[in-house]
Amino acid sequence: MAKKKAYVVWSGRETGVFDAWAPVLAATRGFPGARQNGYATRAQAEAAFAAGDPDAGGAAPRTAAESAGLASRSAAPGGRPTGPATCVDAACDTTRWVMEYRGVDLQTGEVLFAEGPFTGANANFGEFLAIVDALRRPGGEERTLYSDSLTARAWVRKRALNSAFLRDGKAGSRVAARLEDALAWLKSQPSGAKPDIRVWDTRAWGEIPADFGRKG
């Protein structure tokens, strides 16, 4: 049986796409009605997460193929983006819950900012903070931004976090302060503000330029 490379949690203490089993277990063990699944690639997992829980009620969810197509179209037409943009990503050692994140210029590969390491943190925290840091840079709200994290983009869009690390008091004090500051900034922005945050289509374009290159 092929080893699963990525996991989706639709219902749990924390939801989103994960690259390791340990955070999935932490998010779902003992959680009433927990829903998760494993996938061969991260691209498949992201498409499945975007489609929604197949066992949830309401309107029928999109298929993984439909969701992947929507993600690709929302990112950029005509192949891998080359225009002016900032790409963000995070890396997390789930054996110690140590995280770091950064933003990279899409055209030049220049590292625009890099933060961490943070203890008591996960990749979703880093992905979220990276997006907010990119937006807060001079001219950041007018610049196209790419992220491969559905969870982080949802947190930015909703201006709210959904994380067991915070609810259970497991987040380190330093990263918790950063998250609080980032949320306060987002909430201070006009309600109609819609920054140009796009999906990085990993399946079609390869790893996002801000990737740390540590995936097994």
- Rounded to the nearest angstrom, the gap between the alpha carbon of residue 110 and the centroid of all alpha carbons in its chain is 21
Q: Which residue has the tokens 């927990």?
A: 34
Q: Which residues contact 62 (CB under 8 A, 6 or more apart)?
A: 50, 51, 52, 70
In 12-46, where do the E strands start and end? 16-18, 35-39
DSSP state of 6: E
Instruction: For residue 201, say whether it is annotated as part of any ligand binding site.
Output: no
Instruction: For residue 211, say whether it is annotated as part of any ligand binding site.
Output: yes
| CB-based burial label for 79 (10 Å; 0-12, 13-18, 19+) | exposed
How many C-beta atoms surround the C-beta of residue 171 within 10 A?
A: 25
Q: Which residue has the tokens 């922005």?
A: 189
Please give the Cα distance from 196 to 214 (Å, whole number): 28
Contact of 142 with 135, CB cutoff 8 Å: no
Instruction: For residue 142, say whether it is annotated as part of any ligand binding site.
Output: no
Helix (H, G, I), strand (E, B) or coil at 197: strand
Binding-site residues for Mg(2+): 89, 127, 148, 211
Binding-site residues: 89, 127, 148, 211
